Amino acid sequence: NENGSAERVDIIVVGAGFGGMYAVYKFREMGKNVVGIEAGSDVGGVWYWNRYPGARCDLMSVDYSYGFSPEIEQEWTWSEQFAAQPEILEYANFVADRLDLRKNFRFDTRVTSAIWDEERKLWVAKTDGGAVLEAPYAIMSTGPLSIPKDPDIPGIDRFKGELYRAQKWPHHEVDFTGKRVGVIGTGSTGIQIIQEVGPQAGELFVFQRTPSFTLPMRNRDLSPEYVAEMKKHYRQMRAAMKMNPTGGTRPVTSRPFYSLPPDQREEAMEQAWQNGGHTFLGTFADLMVNEEANEAVADFVRGKIGEIVDDPKTAEALKPRGYPIFARRPCLDTEYYETYNRPNVHLINCKEDPILEITEKGIRTESGEHELDMLIFATGYDALTGALLAFDVVGRDGLTLKEKWKDGPRSHLGIAMAGFPNLFATTGPNGPAALANIITISENDVDWIADLITYMEDKNLSAVEPTQEVEDAWMDHVAALAAPSLIRKANTWWVGANVKGKPTGLTMFVGGFAKYREACEAVAASKYADYSFDRITEPA
Ligand code: NA7
């Protein structure tokens, strides 16, 4: 045995975000010897790394929290409707303390390879610290947004000022007072940074390539009375969330845009704007499949931008055109557009004035050099598949995940893959992944995997994988649902278009969380009829 020093455990979990934390808890409760491996120094995943100013979740805190523990629901109190990063990280730490999760994790450790040993029916995982772990089961809770991506601009290393990456923000406060600050990236991250840093910086230069649509968050403090009500009704709310396509509490509608007369449409849009949050998608049912309805809402929002932003040229540059609203993840802001009315905030429209290079002193665009003391990258992620392809994953017969996914990710339910026995992903790229509440999906996926493992133990089975046929059928189903979706019409991380050379396409399940959960449940109810198993054979 070449792995003489290998440590044998029951289950390896990769990642200490909300998915990995719950996985470790769940399997430990099942009596398993589970080891979690995490690159960061503590729990929290994306909320551990993303400490940039203004970082906040755009799902309501009542949604974006665990539903598996009624005790934790009662013991923890959210302060705001949409929680900021420090509070979410505090919550992750609270859960880790409460359930004593850290003892199962190895922090500051990266998995460098995971290889299936067919003979021994074990996953063999190596780490950057030189450890070797072996386990019958491996769970990848590596997150859809965990591999940051630098912009594709020459000269990054040349910059002599302070360079910050949103997703690797230092653990200390950064003082922007009097500084000339540049931000590249105007997705959800950039928008949160810009509205926060704008009022603090001496001067803020926003380098915008593609403007995003952003809607008012209308955040608020939660009153003690409201918190008490929430706590009283958490169980019923969690049950409702499982039936909801968002896996959260957002209202759902079946009302198409053009079913309303024009004045009522206008009224409904105004109401959605006033309510804030993701209300638009709960106001009209067909915004992601009806281009004209989508354009009407986009136009309404562009009108709002025009009303808020004083300078007409800046307003025009901020108005997104040429792709459907909500085809790029809609951002929620507090005073994003208002920030551009400040005299110290400057928008550089990189569609007209492209970035040529990063220099020692700042950024050179076609019109000249912009000198900066600080530069912030908010340029997104190698999303959905990046974390799973960042190390070697080798399944049966030497099949690598890179090979299997060379034309895009393929799996059954986003959880399991033909050719990769006993390997499971939570919030994988062919489930609802980024399109629904990630914590609800994580819980669903972990529970599903746990049920499958229990089933196998009851039946004395050693290895499981979906058949190629059922995986193909799922991918056909995913593709059929994706075909009419306007999400395909924007170049975003949702479709892999933000990373050079990455296969593009909408591989997420767009049918909503509730339907996804039903599909998962049907597989379990069929006693995994479309899965193939190896039986444990006692040596003669
Ligand atoms: P996003 O949404 O992928 O946004 C990245 C932004 O960075 C986007 O505006 C990009 O413009 C911009 N970008 C990337 N490279 C460049 C270069 N070279 N020049 C100029 N601008 C560039 O990432 P976020 O982190 O904001 O959000 C990710 C998710 O986290 C979000 O959807 C929420 O779910 C939470 P582009 O669009 O490519 O023109």
What ipTM score was computed for the predicted complex, to two decimals? 0.99
Ligand 1 pocket residue status of 356, Cβ below 6 Å? no
The pLDDT value recorded for residue 539 is 61
How far apart are alpha carbons 476 and 481 in whole angstroms? 9
Query: Mutate which of 63, 209, 435 to test ligand 1's pocket (most atoms within 8 Å of Cβ)?
Result: 209
Nearest alpha-carbon partner for 165 in 187, 144, 146, 149: 149
Query: Mutate which of 153, 168, 183, 189 to test ligand 1's pocket (most atoms within 8 Å of Cβ)?
Result: 189
Ligand 1 pocket residue status of 184, Cβ below 6 Å? yes
How crowded is residue 526: how many other Cβ atoms within 10 Å of its Cβ? Answer: 10
Atom of ligand 1 nearest to the CA of 188: 26
Query: Mutate which of 188, 347, 358 to test ligand 1's pocket (most atoms within 8 Å of Cβ)?
Result: 188
Nearest alpha-carbon partner for 65 in 517, 440, 516: 440
* Residue type at position 89: L
How far apart are alpha carbons 439 and 96 in whole angstroms? 15
The pLDDT value recorded for residue 537 is 75
Average pLDDT for runs of 10 along the chain of length 540: 77 98 98 98 98 97 97 98 98 98 98 98 97 98 97 98 98 97 98 98 98 97 97 97 96 96 98 93 96 98 98 98 96 97 98 98 98 98 97 98 98 98 98 96 98 97 98 98 97 96 97 98 98 81
DSSP string for residues in 420-469: EEEEEESS-TTSSGGGS-HHHHHHHHHHHHHHHHHHHHHTTEEEEEE-HH
The pLDDT value recorded for residue 445 is 98
How does DSSP classify residue 221? B
The pLDDT value recorded for residue 509 is 98
Tokens of 277: 């949050």
The pLDDT value recorded for residue 330 is 87
User: What sign does the dihedral 443-68-8-106 (CA atoms) show?
Assistant: positive
How far apart are alpha carbons 250 and 329 in whole angstroms? 16
